[in-house]
Structure 1
Amino acid sequence: MSTYQLVDPHGRPVSSASLLREEAAPTLTGVRSIWGEPVASGLTPARLARILHDAVEGEPGEYLALAEEMEERDLHYASVLGTRKRAVLAIEPVVNQPKNGTVDDKILDAVRDLVEAPIFEDMLIDVLDGLGKGFSVVEILWDHQATWYPREYVWRDPRHFQFDRRTGRELRLREDGSTEGRDLSRYSFIRHIPKLKSGLPIRGGLARLAAWAFLLKSYTLKDWAAFLEVFGMPLRVGRYNRSATPDEKRVLLRAVRDLAADAAAIIPSGMEIEFIEAKGGSGNAVFGAMAEYLDAQISKAVLGQTMTTDDGSSLAQAQVHENVRYDLLRADGRQVSTTLNRDLIHPFIAFNFGPQERYPTVDLPVAEAEDIKTLSEALNTLVPLGLKVAGSEVREKIGLSEPEDDADILRASAAAKPPVTEPGQAEAEPDDAGTEPATAQACPSCGGYHATARAGEEPDELDALLEEALQEWGTDLAPVLDQLQAEFAAASSYEDLKARLDRLAGTLDVGPLARRIADLALIARGLGDAG
């Protein structure tokens, strides 16, 4: 009896039992517990420095918890980080053939079904969690019925993983009683480590970059809240006589304090309370400016710019800054595509269709917004000069698809230039109204093109008159051309030629041409009067 051996994309055997087993499930207690103490509460500069140091030394638990809390506590950080994640999510995944070669259509269809599944987009959200923390891990829970297929993608708490202590680059699963953890099973996890900067992966998360701004902003908001609590409230001053006893002083103090909450108090005779109005509001400007400055730095760190989130002082500046965001988006899309192809697409194909010489790819292409007006003006200028442009390329840039055979096609207006019919070329198609369009025929005399009657119409007297006149154009223009050629031949420089042509103006022999035009106009007028 033959057995089927599951193999990976490189042809190496894979244990089916290991694929069907859930490996990184959390535990109630131990190193993989989902519970933990908050880190951001009472955070100080000394503690933050220790947390960041411990993360680099191989204990990233508190740093990862802080990164999670930063997204919950800082509205601006959560906004810009969410914007960067959602920008990638908005890209429609595309399944492409390998660059050098092709694969069977049934493989492409299977990959498209995998990508179009609703759980795929949810998995992308979890994969992009690595932007803030430096890495993210999603466990693939495989199911095997007729085919191998992910039945679920499960986000795993990054605190349940660690990097190896020798290189600081290999992700390992934390286990009780083991300082090194254990290897992650191949093809059971999607491991995304975005390359945002050179160095160790744990130092590359955006949360580490924004942590100090988060701490300073926390202090700023706390001081601002304390300032607002007392700003504008009148200062209450109690006055007592020199002979007042300690008990009387305590009564006066209690009365002054009660005024803040109850707005009512009683005091002994001989004592008085004075209200001093607070003036000036410079504290608002100081604290507000500090908070805005820190928000701007976070925007620069996460989005690479501030124009589309804070300032937006001009359209031109915003467009320049938007291009920076396109650079980040393209980089994020490429890195996520690389992760998905390595950890999901290639294993999925190998498990179901066997190892392939070349594998299709799932890409997240980012198309920049084209300036259609500028493109149209450039085409309108360059195409008549002979520039050859593929119609498919223009359609791609402006976002238009190739029309179907039975589609309602937009056509040029009736005022558009009539098409030119070259000798031997098929005549133009009728327009929508069923009227045959006018054509233009090459003239053997002048080498140009002249409009002719519509197809199916008999030439009239004016057509014959025009044809006769064109036979004599060389004779009529000969005196003018002879004079011009003589001046060109005699000129010694460009400036001399300009002077000669200026002197020649008004003396050209246009008599034969003028008489020809006058005769033609008279005959045409007579034909018109005669009906």
Structure 2
Amino acid sequence: MGQIVDINGNPIERKVLDQQQTAQLGWLKSSYEEHPSLGLTPQKLYRILESAELGYLLPQSDLFTDMEEKDAHIFAEMSKRKRVLLTLDWDVQPPRNASATEKKLAQWVRECLQDMTFFEDMLLDSLDGIGHGFAALEITWERVEGMWLPQAITRRPQRWFMTPWDDRDDIRLRGIEVMGQPLWQFGWILHRHRAKSGYVSRSGLHRVLVWPYLFKNYGVRDIMEFLEIYGIPLRLGKYPAGASEDEKSTLLRAVTGIGHNAAGIIPQEMQIDFKEASSGSGHAPHLSLIDYMERSQSKVILGGTLTSQADGKSSTHALGNVHNEVRHDLMVSDARQLEATITRDLIYPIVALNKGVTDLRRLPRLVFETREPEDMKLYADSLPKLVAMGLPVPVDWAREKLSIPAAQDGDDVLVIPQPLQALPPEFRPAPAPETPPPAKQVRLTYRPVVQNAHGETIYPDQAQLDDTISGLPAAPLAAGMDKLLAPVIQAIRNGETPDSAIEALLTAQPDMDEGALAELLARAMFVADIWGRVNGGN
């Protein structure tokens, strides 16, 4: 392997690929949480926070862990804050003005991350830094088909770390060294989450939640004491004068046990009275304190209260939408910070180890889809009108507003069938050739010229002649005759006899029936004769 450097240009150590750094600090895994939330007071809390500012993070980390375990409200709200990022789509994008090689590299990194079955668990563990101020995940590398890829990414408790007194933002492992051990490059995903400004020990969200957590515990303790004292009716036993000590003990045992067993026996001379429980000072102040602290916790974690619970009075749909917008801003901030961490501590090592790319500025980067698509119905109605009025609307702007990616080469895209009139002329299909309507088939009735008994030739009258001529299919007949009689006409022009002309016709049309040919010629001669007589008479 060639010389590989980290993002700061420092060469990495080869051992980071063979073993975990914490493997050399086995005693860390055998240390257990101290649970400083037990008996927490303002004075004790102050000392815990102060020691964290001096670099000793162990008590503060254990307290933050206890807070999420013991306070159901904090756990629920933090779970919303962290898990909302798991619902976002993500992608690996190349740098601006990327070359073909950089685009191909981004595609390769995307496939590497998609193949990691623990990728979502890694995201969730990294978001633990929202409360603590940082989250450290150790990478275990393996060689797969000639490439170095993460085999596992394991969360390490914040109590394993410290900050040196001379650099309060430098996170190190607690070791035998007073100043701790620096983290190995390419061995860790170190997510520093700035929920608030300040050093790493003070940038976590739980630093703000510790005080509502403490005061809420006071309210819970007080209401439990109230229920213990005033929640059970007073049982008063009465014994007669002169009762012995054994009789008194029997009565006391009966009074004590009757609250749990709801049954007991006593001598007839004794009696037990049940007194109505006193209301004391009431439970309302304690519940009000708990409710106020939970509201404060919701505001700290989600930026509002109406997205977490409704009080039945001030909660409205409109106010809830406003609070959801605040929560979306927090989600975007969390996503942007996590993007930078994954790009720096995971993508960069993978690319540097396998592809030799060490320029952080030209590195593929992880990007979450945090944009909220606009109302498509509104834009679909307004954009065509604005464009028709002459307003130039950039396509990239419209895509960004509607969260519609640009189609790549080879992508199937949606289309709306349009009528042919709406298409440009060059995209219209060629019109089908028009076929003439079929000629009207008229059956020609042949009326031969006949002679009467005196040998006189009889012709139809003028009306009959007009009907006969008008009923003849002149155009089809003429076209057919021109084709059929062409050999005959040519033979006559060549000086052939009529018999030779007929023979030429049969030779040219061998499939024609002689009877059909004779019929056709007779009709043609009849038409010619009638036409001549009519026009000659005029």
**TM superposition score normalised by structure 2:** 0.70
Aligned residues of 2:5 and 2:358 also touching (Cα < 8 A): no
- Farther-moved stretch of structure 1 (127-136 vs 85-94): 85-94
The one of 40, 47, 63 aligned to 2:37 = 40
The one of 400, 412, 415 aligned to 1:409 = 415
For residue 179 of structure 1, give the secondary structure of its aligned residue in structure 2.
coil
> How far is 1:239 from its partner?
3.8
For residue 178 of structure 2, give the secondary structure of its aligned residue in structure 1.
strand
> How far is 1:336 from its partner?
0.8
Q: Tell me the residue number matched to 1:319.
A: 321
> How far is 1:106 from its partner?
3.4
Q: Structure 1's 283 and 39: CA in aligned 2 closer, same or farther, altered over 3 A? A: same
- Farther-moved stretch of structure 1 (283-292 vs 131-140): 283-292
Q: Deviations over 1:156-201 (max 9, x none)?
A: 121111111112110111113x221121111211111111212111
CA distance in 1, matches of 2:190, 2:122: 12
Matched, 1:133 2:132: yes
Q: Tell me the residue number matched to 1:257.
A: 256
Q: Structure 1's 197 and 350: CA in aligned 2 closer, same or farther, altered over 3 A? A: same
Matches within 5 A, 1:214-225: 214-225=213-224
Matched, 1:368 2:372: yes
Matches within 5 A, 1:373-388: 373-379=377-383, 381-388=385-392
> How far is 1:136 from its partner?
0.8
Aligned residues of 2:371 and 2:403 also touching (Cα < 8 A): no
CA distance in 1, matches of 2:414, 2:141: 47
Q: Which has the larger radius of gyration?
A: 2
CA distance in 2, matches of 1:48, 1:353: 49
> How far is 1:54 from its partner?
1.6
Q: Structure 1's 98 and 28: CA in aligned 2 closer, same or farther, altered over 3 A? A: closer
Aligned residues of 2:191 and 2:338 also touching (Cα < 8 A): yes
Matches within 5 A, 1:436-475: none
Q: Structure 1's 111 and 223: CA in aligned 2 closer, same or farther, altered over 3 A? A: same
Amino acid at match of 1:308: T
Aligned residues of 2:94 and 2:103 also touching (Cα < 8 A): no
**TM superposition score normalised by structure 1:** 0.71
CA distance in 1, matches of 2:30, 2:367: 35
CA distance in 2, matches of 1:138, 1:61: 17
Q: Tell me the residue number matched to 1:111.
A: 109
Matches within 5 A, 1:261-410: 261-267=260-266, 271-278=270-277, 283-311=282-310, 313-357=315-359, 358-379=362-383, 381-391=385-395, 393-400=397-404, 409-410=415-416
Q: Tell me the residue number matched to 1:64.
A: 61
> How far is 1:300 from its partner?
0.7
> How far is 1:389 from its partner?
2.4
> How far is 1:139 from its partner?
1.1
Amino acid at match of 1:167: D
Q: Deviations over 1:469-506 (max 9, x none)?
A: xxxxxxxxxxxxxxxxxxxxxxxxxxxxxxxxxxxxxx
What's the C-alpha RMSD, in Å, of the aligned pairs?
A: 3.3
Q: Deviations over 1:270-301 (max 9, x none)?
A: 54332222376984433333222211111111
Q: Structure 1's 26 and 242: CA in aligned 2 closer, same or farther, altered over 3 A? A: farther
CA distance in 2, matches of 1:386, 1:285: 65
> How far is 1:75 from its partner?
1.1
Amino acid at match of 1:150: P
Q: Structure 1's 375 and 339: CA in aligned 2 closer, same or farther, altered over 3 A? A: same
Aligned residues of 1:330 and 1:365 also touching (Cα < 8 A): no
Q: Tell me the residue number matched to 1:21.
A: 19
Q: Structure 1's 398 and 11: CA in aligned 2 closer, same or farther, altered over 3 A? A: same
How many correspondences in the alignment?
Answer: 424
- Identical counterparts, % of pairs: 36
> How far is 1:407 from its partner?
5.3
Amino acid at match of 1:385: M
Aligned residues of 1:114 and 1:120 also touching (Cα < 8 A): no
Aligned residues of 1:6 and 1:16 also touching (Cα < 8 A): no
Q: Structure 1's 232 and 16: CA in aligned 2 closer, same or farther, altered over 3 A? A: closer
For residue 238 of structure 1, give the secondary structure of its aligned residue in structure 2.
strand
CA distance in 1, matches of 2:345, 2:141: 13
Matched, 1:99 2:82: no
Aligned residues of 2:140 and 2:153 also touching (Cα < 8 A): yes
Q: Deviations over 1:283-332 (max 9, x none)?
A: 44333332222111111111111111113822211111111111111111
CA distance in 2, matches of 1:233, 1:223: 16
Amino acid at match of 1:329: M
Q: Structure 1's 28 and 184: CA in aligned 2 closer, same or farther, altered over 3 A? A: closer
Q: Structure 1's 398 and 258: CA in aligned 2 closer, same or farther, altered over 3 A? A: same
Q: Structure 1's 362 and 401: CA in aligned 2 closer, same or farther, altered over 3 A? A: closer
Matches within 5 A, 1:413-424: none
Amino acid at match of 1:165: W
> How far is 1:28 from its partner?
5.3
Amino acid at match of 1:305: G
Aligned residues of 2:306 and 2:323 also touching (Cα < 8 A): yes
Q: Tell me the residue number matched to 1:197.
A: 196
Aligned residues of 1:235 and 1:276 also touching (Cα < 8 A): yes
Aligned residues of 1:7 and 1:355 also touching (Cα < 8 A): no
Amino acid at match of 1:207: H
Q: Tell me the residue number matched to 1:158.
A: 158
CA distance in 2, matches of 1:159, 1:329: 27
Amino acid at match of 2:200: P
> How far is 1:411 from its partner?
5.1
Structure 1 unaligned regions, length at least 5: 437-455, 457-531
Q: Deviations over 1:426-456 (max 9, x none)?
A: 37858xxx999xxxxxxxxxxxxxxxxxxx9
Structure 2 unaligned regions, length at least 5: 435-538
Aligned residues of 1:234 and 1:276 also touching (Cα < 8 A): yes
> How far is 1:238 from its partner?
3.0
CA distance in 2, matches of 1:384, 1:408: 23
For residue 383 of structure 1, give the secondary structure of its aligned residue in structure 2.
helix
For residue 304 of structure 2, give the secondary structure of its aligned residue in structure 1.
coil
Q: Tell me the residue number matched to 1:233.
A: 232
Amino acid at match of 1:328: L
